[in-house]
Amino acid sequence: MRFEGSNQYVATADLQLAVNAAITLQRPLLIKGEPGTGKTMLAEEVAKALGMPLLQWHIKSTTKAQQGLYEYDAVSRLRDSQLGGVDGGRVQDIANYIVKGVLWQAFDADQPCVLLIDEVDKADIEFPNDLLRELDRMEFYVYETRQLIKARHRPVVFITSNNEKELPDAFLRRCFFHYIRFPDKETMQRIIDVHYPGLKRDLLGEALRVFFDVREMPGLKKKPSTSELLDWLKLLLAEDIPPEALKSGDRKKIIPPLHGALLKNEQDVHLFERLVFLSRTGQ
């Protein structure tokens, strides 16, 4: 069971190493990195490459750890008992009103699967701590039915974080960690090739130059990332923008065409305009 990237996802050697290390250790892989650097997609691609089903749990600020295990649907049970017409035996048996969460589904699956816990940092601080035992021992107890649920097969677990909150040490100890570094030019070129295989080299070259120039601008509030570059390229292709329009020699173009795909707030657009203006008057 080894992951070596796929023809839709460019995985650098260190990322492959991290995925395989986590699989060998049988520990969750904690993935961090700038937004849009392929954290979520990694889990999807690993599942595909290893031929395993993928179960996804998207975490929100209101998500509780318990929801990943199971929930007791007391409201349905009460309604069934009051309305009648429902088989009395069904209402008696509390197990009929236990709704399985994503973790339980992963534990219950009859083949090993990939479990993605996406954006773990969105939940409150207790959330990761509440899952320590479940992720470690791969088991939990259902108090309502007095059942111990154990994973039939240990899932391959991916946990992503955008660093909005620190994660507790006890949680970190149980994970293998990898930070997806922002792709260098060569890696970025490979990623673009995956998405736009026939892209003309001169357009690609100019677009990459503009993109990395924008990223390197000092004082930028939000640096554009891989997914934004891909969006921008899509627009350049759709609008049939020639590579010349991106060349810095072209004085008429103040900022790159369709820059709304790259710069996401007015301060950054102003900053860019000011820099272009200064460089033009300085010449």
Specify the pairing of strand 98-100 against strand 70-72: antiparallel
State the minimum distance, in angstroms, from the CB of residue 249 to ligand ATP: 31
Q: Which of Mg ion, ligand ATP, none does residue 191 bind (CB under 5 to 8 Å by kind)?
A: ligand ATP
Residue 10 or 46 with smaller CB distance to ligand ATP: 10
Q: Which stretch binds Mg ion (CB under 5 A): 36-44, 135-143, 195-203, 235-243?
A: 36-44
Tokens 């673009």 -> residue = 192
Q: Which stretch binds Mg ion (CB under 5 A): 10-18, 23-31, 38-46, 79-87?
A: 38-46
Given a contact cutoff of 8 angstroms between Cβ atoms, the answer to whether 158 and 116 are in contact is yes
Tokens 């130059």 -> residue = 209
State the minimum distance, in angstroms, from the CB of residue 13 to Mg ion: 22
Q: How far apart (Å, rounded) are the C-alpha atoms in residues 28 and 265? A: 35
State the minimum distance, in angstroms, from the CB of residue 257 to Mg ion: 28
Residue 225 or 241 with smaller CB distance to Mg ion: 225
Q: Which of ligand ATP, Mg ion, none does residue 36 bind (CB under 5 to 8 Å by kind)?
A: ligand ATP
Residue 73 or 118 with smaller CB distance to Mg ion: 118
Q: Which of Mg ion, ligand ATP, none does residue 5 bind (CB under 5 to 8 Å by kind)?
A: none
Given a contact cutoff of 8 angstroms between Cβ atoms, the answer to whether 226 and 183 are in contact is yes
Q: Does 40 bind Mg ion (CB under 5 A)?
A: yes
> Where does this chain bind ligand ATP (CB under 6 A)?
9-10, 33, 35-41, 162, 191, 194, 226-227, 230
State the minimum distance, in angstroms, from the CB of residue 250 to ligand ATP: 29
Handedness of CA 7, 10, 12, 16 (dihedral sign): negative
State the minimum distance, in angstroms, from the CB of residue 41 to ligand ATP: 3
Neighbours of 216 (CB within 10 A): 9
Q: How many CA atoms lie within 13 A of 18 on its CB side?
A: 23
Given a contact cutoff of 8 angstroms between Cβ atoms, the answer to whether 276 and 254 are in contact is yes
User: For residue 206, what are its two tokens?
Assistant: 């100019």
Residue 28 or 36 with smaller CB distance to ligand ATP: 36
State the minimum distance, in angstroms, from the CB of residue 38 to ligand ATP: 3
The residue among 142, 127, 122, 117 whose CA lies nearest residue 65 is: 127
Neighbours of 44 (CB within 10 A): 18
State the minimum distance, in angstroms, from the CB of residue 122 to Mg ion: 11
Instruction: List the beta bridge partners of residue 168.
Output: none
Helix ranges (DSSP H) in 196-282: 201-216, 226-238, 266-281
Taking CB atoms, the residue at the shortest distance from ligand ATP is 38
The size of the interface with Mg ion (CB under 5 A), counted in residues, is 1
Residues that bind Mg ion (CB under 5 A): 40
